[in-house]
Amino acid sequence: MENPGYCTGSFDGLHHPSDDDDDEMVDIAGATLDFSSTDDVPPLSTGGYEEYSSSSSRAAGMNGNGPSKLVDPLEDPLPGVGTYEDFNTIDWVREKSKDRDRHREITNKSRQSTVALLHSVSDAFSGWLLMLLVGLMSGALAGGIDIAAHWLTDMKGGVCLIGFWFNHEHCCWKSNEATFQDRDRCPQWQSWAELITGTSEGAFAYIVNYLMYIFWALLFSFLAVTLVRAFAPYACGSGIPEIKTILSGFIIRGYLGKWTLIIKTITLVLAVSSGLSLGKEGPLVHVACCCANILCHLFTKYRKNEAKRREVLSAAAAVGVSVAFGAPIGGVLFSLEEVSYYFPLKTLWRSFFAALVAAFTLRSINPFGNSRLVLFYVEFHAPWHLVELAPFVLLGIFGGLWGALFIRANIAWCRRRKTTRLGHYPVIEVLVVAALTALLAYPNSYTRMSGAELISELFNDCSLLDSSQLCGYKQPANTSETGVGNSLADRPAGAGLYTALWQLALALVFKMMITVITFGMKVPSGLFIPSMAVGAIAGRLLGVGMEQLAYYNHDSFIFKGWCSPGADCITPGLYAMVGAAACLGGVTRMTVSLVVIMFELTGGLEYIVPLMAATMTSKWVADAFGREGIYEAHIRLNGYPFLEPKEEFEHSSLTVDVMRPKRSDPALAVLTQEGMTVGQVEALVESTHYSGFPVVVSQESQRLVGFVLRRDLLISIDNARKRQEGVVSASQVVFTEHAPSVAADAPPPLRLRGIMDLSPFTVTDHTPMDITVDIFRKLGLRQCLVTHNGRLLGIITKKDILKHMAQIANRDPDSILFN
């Protein structure tokens, strides 16, 4: 029932964060996990260091080095130094500096020999090769997910007799018995009622189909949640909030590992096929980032540098959207606008290339069978008119209101899941929601079909031979009366259309309510398709209303002059498209990338202005209720250390108000550049939980020398004890350039200047906090030291800033759980 290695959504049972605790090992989205995977840098207590140290000591003995040899990590680098612990923030400045030094060394060597020159060329080319591999792998996986999800979704309704592996559409392709009116019916495809009872008509057949639909929905959802729980707890959810946090410099070991990739790919197919109100688009971004992270291990440049790896992950986020929607340009803009924290020009070009490769791969697989990249391709024939901007803006207002309402309701529900016993029973929760969804969805044909099919149906423009209920208009007396091109003139609504409108209105209410409790469950769940479905339904309803208004009021001043009788004035499918963009914009607060994704998705290039108007209106309206999008809200809910670049810091506080220690606190824990013994340093490290320590000239002067990380300090001392004979607890630890003279009978000193950051970022105690926050955002700092006339006063970490911002916004500062 309760598995500690699973996304339970609860932080109970973990040690509570205290003011001096910078490295809380807390669960991600509620999971406390064993990070023994080999996907990333090994933790401190692995055998690699012992193996390295024993071989080094043997080498030292062979070379005749006695006990007086000084070990300097700068000259003799240790494995593990410069790496990071789990749930910690990387030092962007140090990582970029390491990469510049590496590049400078390769460039200098390339002038000396042909081999070095070839190495330099391969190093420069490795980034493009990596992007090619990421694009190919992500495109292939996305194509497989699309095909498998389509097949399993159709399996809930029946099975193909000529081959169970065919979905409904493929099964009926070669059938000679299928008619245009009943294109979905063919003898080769049989419903479960036909297989079991031998007939597809009557109440009993309906009940059999109904029960089989619920059975398959429960089976798929049970398999999805069980696989996630058993093998990869990080495969649950959308993944975009965590990707954003990782791209800002946070480390979550295993989140982008191979097990997460395998399980997310399988369970995404199952979750989408179960009929739950979720999409595969957000999780595909997570899948693409997993591919990128795994492939990074093939290239030393990216494997050993966390900042360089994040450049690749930014490009992978673009690839994810490219394969999810068939929108490569929109994917690049999505990564730039919504996900990435650091996005240099080089990453823009590489994202473009990777998105191109991924889109080409997906197009080659052709998962939709329409020789196009997208499922929602539309061909609207009637141009839009200026008067229609009013209903488009109205859809924008609806999208903004729905977005704000959805975020508040969903966060409230997710918080309830975290803080109550509901979070202890994830499997039961998923099964109950799946059963409820299937039970209520089946009677309504618009909720029974998958989200992608529903949107495709709503975007569709009625043609002369269309048999859809949404095209149930009364036929005019003069059947030759058509509009522009192949489209029909506006017609009065018939009985079929009125039935469809009632069903759509019920579907709208159902989708709005069920999506709130579905997003955030312990299965892979995207939000793009459900949000677009809500908007598309609302847009289609408004579009049909406008169409009927225009038909019955041709002579009114609104329509006079541009909408004459017998003309095709209003396109309801366009309203559905605009509504979909408005609702998705209201939930995610995307603008530029959303408009580009929408016109790439539909091919509706001439409808950019309506899309822009609706998207901008929806953002303004939603921002009036709160500036956070759904992903930022989930980041805050989970307590990740994410400094939102879009958020303004308007308070007039100074660094001295935010830094630690406070006036009433004990003095800051520091190391001196000489005079401390190994035993004293170890005692200081063990008695505190800080992730690093400032190094000062002496306790009296407090003049700053540098900064040393806790992890580097522990690794260096541990290795020195094994490698350097004579290092004991009484040995001096020195951070100076030249080793001090020691007595003949004294143990040799341990020189650790090589692991010290000689240029830590400092600000004075009177620096305004808005400037300090900007420095943290733009340089990606983990910590910043505060000085007064050159003397060390205190330290500010990213967590201190986030806690301070939470206090200003009247939120609980202890909700920031990581650093």
Same domain, 263 and 399: no
Query: What is the domain extent for residue 760?
Result: 655-816
Same domain, 537 and 607: yes
Question: What is the total count of domains within the chain?
Answer: 3
Q: Report pLDDT digits (tens) over 241-286.
A: 999 999 988 899 899 999 999 999 999 999 999 999 999 989 999 9
**φ/ψ (deg, to 5) at 801:** -65, -45
Same domain, 534 and 605: yes
Same domain, 791 and 679: yes
Average pLDDT over residues 785-806: 89
In a domain, 49, yes or no: no
Region of poorest pLDDT, from 719-733, 753-767, 772-786:
719-733
Domain finish residue from 579, 613, 630: 630
What pLDDT is recorded for position 77?
A: 60
Domain at 244, CATH number = 1.10.3080.10
| Burial classification of residue 200, based on how many CB atoms lie within 10 Å of its CB (0-12 exposed, 13-18 middle, 19 or more buried) | middle
Same domain, 427 and 560: yes
What pLDDT is recorded for position 558?
A: 78
Domain at 786, CATH number = 3.10.580.20
Is 747 a residue whose pLDDT tops 70? yes
Region of poorest pLDDT, from 59-68, 343-352, 499-508:
59-68
Region of poorest pLDDT, from 105-114, 151-160, 205-214, 720-729:
720-729
In a domain, 119, yes or no: no
In a domain, 717, yes or no: yes
SS (H, E, C) 688-735: CECCEEEEECCCCCCEEEEEEEHHHHHHHHHHHHHHCCCCCCCCEEEC
Average pLDDT over residues 643-648: 78
Q: Report pLDDT digits (tens) over 209-250.
A: 999 999 999 999 999 999 999 999 999 989 999 999 999 888
Q: Report pLDDT digits (tens) over 357-381.
A: 999 999 888 777 666 666 677 777 7
Same domain, 327 and 260: yes
What DSSP letter does each residue of 180-241 carry, written as one string? STTTT--TTEEEHHHHHHS-S-SHHHHHHHHHHHHHHHHHHHHHHHHHHHHH-GGGSB-SHH
Q: Are 400 and 621 in contact (CB under 8 A)?
A: yes
Q: Report pLDDT digits (tens) over 582-618.
A: 999 999 999 999 999 988 888 777 888 999 999 999 9
Same domain, 273 and 418: no
Q: Are 649 and 810 in contact (CB under 8 A)?
A: no
What pLDDT is recorded for position 24?
A: 35
In a domain, 313, yes or no: yes
Is 740 a residue whose pLDDT tops 80? no
Domain finish residue from 349, 365, 381: 365
In a domain, 586, yes or no: yes
Same domain, 669 and 535: no
Q: Are 169 and 160 in contact (CB under 8 A)?
A: no
What pLDDT is recorded for position 197?
A: 85
What DSSP letter does each residue of 562-630 carry, written as one string? T--TTS----HHHHHHHHHHHHHHHHH---HHHHHHHHHHH--GGGHHHHHHHHHHHHHHHHHH-S--H
Query: Taking all residues of the chain, what is their mean pLDDT, rounded to a whole number?
Result: 83
In a domain, 144, yes or no: no
What pLDDT is recorded for position 177?
A: 65
CA 559 to chain centre: 45
Domain finish residue from 588, 615, 630: 630
Same domain, 309 and 438: no
Name, in order, each residue with C-beta under 8 angstroms of 812's C-beta and a sequence gap of 6 or more.
806
Q: Report pLDDT digits (tens) over 300-332.
A: 899 989 999 999 999 999 999 999 988 899 999
Is 61 a residue whose pLDDT tops 60? no
Same domain, 626 and 661: no
In a domain, 32, yes or no: no
What pLDDT is recorded for position 38?
A: 38
Is 4 a residue whose pLDDT tops 50? no
Residue 817 pLDDT level (bands cut at 50, 70, 90): low
What pLDDT is recorded for position 11?
A: 35
What pLDDT is recorded for position 423?
A: 82
Same domain, 781 and 688: yes
Same domain, 299 and 339: yes
What pLDDT is recorded for position 97?
A: 87
In a domain, 25, yes or no: no
